[in-house]
Chain A
Amino acid sequence: MSIAAAPAAAAILPGRGGIGGALSDAFWRSPKLLLFLMLTPPLLWLGVIYLGSLFALLLQSFFSIDEFSGLVVREFTLKTYGELLRPSNLDIIVRTVTMAGLVTIASAIIAFPIAYFAARYARGRWKAVFYLGVMLPLWSSYLVKVYAWKLILAKEGILTWVFEKLHLTFLIDGWLALPVVGGNSLSVSPTGTFLVFVYVWLPFMILPVQAALERVPGNLLEASADLGASPSQTFRNVLLPLALPGVIAGSIFTFSLTLGDYIIPQIVGTSHLFIGMAVYAHQGTAGNIPLAAAFTVVPVVIMGIYLWLAKRAGAFNAL
């Protein structure tokens, strides 16, 4: 037969030779070695530098500052945390958390239809347009975008101009006259801060929601309709529960990014402080590292509580 006539090939091929060949064989025999080598550097980074500095921060927050000399007293005390509860500081925390909550809710509401379109209907070119549209704003500088918004929202800005042309100026004036949310102009009102926050963090909500919706098989929606559910019932009972992990993932971004940001409220908004601004002020000019550290711990604790509540509410059941 012709196959037998060909030069006999070995059943087992010889080793490839060289360091590469030896390494390939060694890694094939013990895959865990490869895993170990790949994971060690990032774990060292994460464990030592990242978690280490977090721990150092936590440690700092239990120190206090000597009011007379302005030096840090390296003794464990809860005095600094007590200072957080002073009305002026508590005010900052409540303001920041409220803003972060509202920004998160608004982002989720705006992001869902966009993500739904991208996951269910966009194909080929439209998918590319979606990704480009969502990502493009992330490519330009954050500062440029925020200053651009300051101009858009300013009293002489484009938004006022548009409302004026539409003879709707009374709407802006009415809104600005409201207590708490209002101000002299949109660019120096909490409303302005809110709008810019939503704009800047929106992609971080859209992308995880879109990824979650993409994983929902279309026939589940058909099955729901088949069993008598109207589109809104299907949304509540099938789509939303299955997309919830994505919404939670997105809300972790929008919520924590808003909690920690100190630039947006400084450029667009009132002179009232947010947590990030307070941290910035205390660790810088004031030199009160312990209080700055204590302020930083607040978002960490709030996020922990938030995730715990989300888990208890079953947000991760579909994972």
Chain B
Amino acid sequence: MPYAVSFQQVSRHFGSVRAVDAVDLEIEPGEFFAMLGPSGSGKTTCLRLIAGFEQPTSGHIEIFGETAEGVPPYRRNVNTVFQDYALFPHLNVADNVAYGLMIRGVGKAERTREAEAALEMVKLPGYGARKPGQLSGGQRQRVALARALVNKPKVLLLDEPLGALDLKLREQMQEELKVLQKALGITFVFVTHDQGEALSMADRIAVFNDGRIMQTGTPEEIYRRPKTRFVADFVGSSNVLSPQLTEKLAGVAEWSSLRPEDIRLVTDGGHEATVTGTSFLGSATRLTLDVAGEKINVLLPSGTRVPAQGEGVRFSWNSDALHLMGAKA
């Protein structure tokens, strides 16, 4: 079975800017794959390379084993949910959803039926007659999803589709997208800069920075065993400890990552630190500790006593929580 999408040393340069730089990537069929990274890290360009809106400067792209470079977007059985939805303003919701079918010459009756079924799938039955302008952001998002899914693509690309939604709606859509993906078995490639979103939804994540993939792995791997300082810091804002501090705390001169929630305050043993700041987060309180001149964040579960600023404390962690990343991470 070929990969759903595979990149071999793919680069996309815009003038002197290396938007995507020698990227290798393999996405399994039926996988929910997230491309995570800050803005300008090349993740959206990678998505556009799969969709066919961009052509690689060099390298080789395959979609289900077939060469993709040089193939225009309209000949790829790949559909996109755009960041700002890109619904056709002159067509009503039903015609928007049925657009791909209409282009393929599917008859009017069948088209209407399938569009309505797709709208039902995204929980917008009976909205067909409305114009996109009459819908809320969340509803437009669902229409965009239905418009892509109705074509039964081999790969569905989602470009930060939840970015414009408010928190409640976003969490609800995350759940629905996950359920939908499992039910349909279509390969989803999801671009986001929100690490929480990537961790909660994806089967596997590729973390992008500066046009390169820093690490690929399951959410668990990315979170627990970051390979580089960037990944540790970007995914879940871990404490990145310098080789000096790591040597002091654990006896190994390597960069390391220590999750704030893995640290606890102890009365005996452990290491000494000074509290330099506290902030209340609702479900927890974040302490900022000063340890030999370096800052370490600690998440205290709510209900525990919060030490005052300037107070001296002792802290410790479970032996496997400190993750070593090598001397040159």
Q: Which residues of A contact B (CB under 8 A)?
A: 217, 219-220, 222-230, 233, 237-238, 241-242, 317-318
Contact = CB atoms under 8 A, between A and B. Distances in A.
A219 B90 CA distance: 15
Contacts of A217: 86
A227 B100 contact: yes
Given A226-B74, A229-B74, 8 more contacts: A222-B51, A222-B73, A225-B74, A226-B53, A226-B73, A227-B103, A233-B103, A237-B103
Contacts of A238: 88
B100 A228 contact: yes
A230 B90 contact: no
Contact of B104 (A224, A228, A242, A317): A228
B88 A220 contact: yes
Contacts of A219: 82, 84, 86
Contacts of A224: 88, 99
B79 interface: yes
Contacts of A237: 99, 102-103
A241 B80 contact: no
Counting chain B residues whose Cβ lies within 8 A of the other chain, the interface size class is: 20 to 34
10 contacts: A222-B86, A223-B80, A223-B82, A223-B88, A226-B74, A226-B80, A226-B148, A227-B99, A238-B88, A317-B90
A268 B218 CA distance: 77
A222 B86 CA distance: 9
A82 to B, nearest CB: 44
B1 to A, nearest CB: 25
Interface of A (DSSP majority class)? helix
Contacts of B84: 219
Contacts of B148: 226-227
Contacts of A241: 90
A241 B90 CA distance: 7
Nearest to A218: B86
B103 A242 contact: no
Given A222-B53, A237-B99, A237-B103, A227 B86 contact: no
B74 A230 contact: yes
Interface in B276-329: none
Contacts of B51: 222, 226
A317 B133 CA distance: 12
Contacts of A318: 89-90
A230 B74 CA distance: 6
B99 A225 contact: no
Nearest to A215: B89
Interface string B59-88: 000000000000011100011101010111
B90 A242 contact: yes
Nearest to B72: A225
B155 to A, nearest CB: 12
B224 interface: no
A217 B85 CA distance: 11
Interface-centre pick from A227, A230, A318 (highest chain B CB count, 10 A): A227
Contacts of A223: 80, 82, 86-88
